[in-house]
Structure formats: structure tokens, C-alpha cells
Amino acid sequence: MRAGGEWLESVRMPRILYVVELVLAYNLAFNIYKFSTLSYGLDLSTFSSSVKYLYILTSTVLSSEMTILTMVRLSSAHRRFWRLAVKTMIIQSFIVLLNGIVFGNWASNPLIQSEIPLIFVYILCIVILFLPKVRRFYTPPMVRTPEIKRWIPFIAIDRTKEHRHRYIFEYDKEKTDP
């Protein structure tokens, strides 16, 4: 009975992941705000301003797409969606850092003056994603949760294609035998 209860508990999304969902929702709302800022502040008079607005548009679209995909898939217990969440937080950090350092405060956020403190929030979300209970949620049932050192390379390297199994059914076997 104990093992079954532990499995049932691992099926439910840990409540701490709602913090990550909240950060993603804020990020999506801010990206919508960026789109509205881009629509009335578009200046393509010089080459440098054109490059700046093209970068801002591209980074905002990329950020929005990754945020939406992560929000939709975060509650499913697949490891690849855990990896997507970590990658989203890392990419968001780089986008915020690049926007803040290179372009300055181009779109003032209505809640905060600078986006740079959001990097610490994204790092906190990465720490949350590495918590043992969260890692257990993304581990298949009846399998021991791997150590953190095995999760870190999983962020960059996709080995799902190497581990796929091909199942052979009896009726396939009969058709191939002469």
C-alpha cells in the first residue's frame, strides 16, 4: 500500500511548481506589453534602430512561444518538459540580460523599472525545478530518481532518440517469416 501511495503522490504536480507557473504567466503578460510598446514606438529611420527593433521583436516572439509551450506542458510529468522549463528559464535570463545591458530600458515595465532583477527570479525557478520532489515528479513511476549530476547534462543533450524501443508484435513476425 505504501508504494502505491507514493506513486499516487508523485503523479500530482508539486505545489512549488505553481511558483514557476506564476513567473511564466508574468513573463507572458510582460511580452504582451512589449508587443504593444513595439506597435506604437516603431522607428525604422536608421539601420541601427531597425536592427534593434528586429532583435526586440524576434526575442519577444521567441520568449512568448517558449513561455506558452512551457506553461501548457509543465504539469505533464515528462522529463522533456522539465528540460523545456529549464531551457526556457535560461533563455529568458539571457534575453533579459541582453535587453538590459545592450538596449537599456527600452520598454519600461509598469511594475518594475528594470528587468534585470527578473534574472534572480528565473534562477530561483531553476532551483525550484531541481528540487528533489520536483525531479521525482518528472521521473517515471517505479524508477529511482536520478541524482542531480545526471539531470544537468539532460538539459543540453537530447538522448530520447537513442532510447526508443521498437516493439515487435507476433503478427508482424508472422508476416516476415517465409
The whole model's pTM is what? 0.76
Q: State mean pLDDT over 35-46.
A: 74
Confidence of residue 2 (pLDDT cuts 50, 70, 90): very low
Q: State yes or no: pLDDT of 156 exceeds 70.
A: yes
Burial class of residue 119, CB neighbours in 10 A (0-12, 13-18, 19+): middle
C-alpha cell of residue 128: 525550484
Roughly what angle, to the nearest 10 degrees, separates helices 17-40 and 79-102? 40
Mean pLDDT, the chain, integer: 79
Looking at the 3D structure of the chain, how many domains does it have?
1
Q: State mean pLDDT over 153-178.
A: 58
Cα 47 off chain centre by: 33
Cα–Cα distance between 49 and 13 in angstroms, integer? 44
Q: What is the pLDDT of residue 85?
A: 92
**What residue numbers bound the domain in which 62 lies?**
2-176
Q: What is the pLDDT of residue 10?
A: 47
pLDDT digits (tens, 9 = 90+) for 86-126: 999 999 999 888 887 777 655 556 666 777 888 899 999 99
What CA–CA distances, in Å, run from 81 to 28, 85, 88, 107, 134? 18, 6, 10, 30, 12
Q: State yes or no: pLDDT of 3 exceeds 80.
A: no
Confidence of residue 131 (pLDDT cuts 50, 70, 90): very high
